[in-house]
Amino acid sequence: GHIFQDTDGNGVQGAGEPNLSGVSVVITDSLGVTRTVVTDNSGNYTATVPAGSTSANVVESTLPPGMVQTAGVDPSTVIAPAGSTTSIGNDGYQPQGDVFGHIFQDTNGNGVQDPGEPNLSGVDVVVTDSLGVTQTVTTDGSGNYTATVPAGLTTVDVVESTLPTG
């Protein structure tokens, strides 16, 4: 199999998207025997197994932090033919991050939340990620919002119609 970083999230390893080395994969062969292999510098892993149904399960904790699968299936299963090799497939992972913010009522207009200035809950915020995908999140009781997005340029827009009147 092969594991790579799918930076643009399109499910295909494009030019400049790196291979992921040092990722552990648990292989379970047709006899139920398991072994762990590790991807090499080219993002490839291999195991010699008896013929029959074989599965590969990527150990997510060995991926770089904040990755989400965008290509392949995990775990994957393939029928290993006798006397030859077969690929169990390519797995791509896209780095993710969180954007967060805080919304409050600035009653004195100084740009800082001073004691007594309330947090604003129930305010909608539209988050547009680097792939052009939008999601709407709402501030909690403390005036905070968070959204998980792919790495890259992200914009945030407060929906003014959800702010208190005035």
Of 98, 80, 81, 71, the closest CA to residue 8 belongs to 71
Pairing mode, strands 52-58 and 24-28: antiparallel
> What's the pLDDT at 155?
97
> What's the pLDDT at 151?
83
141 contacts 120 by C-beta, under 8 angstroms: no
> What's the pLDDT at 124?
98
> What's the pLDDT at 5?
96
Q: pTM to 2 decimals?
A: 0.74
Stretches where the chain sits below pLDDT 70 are: none
Rg of the chain, C-alpha, whole Å: 23
138 contacts 124 by C-beta, under 8 angstroms: yes
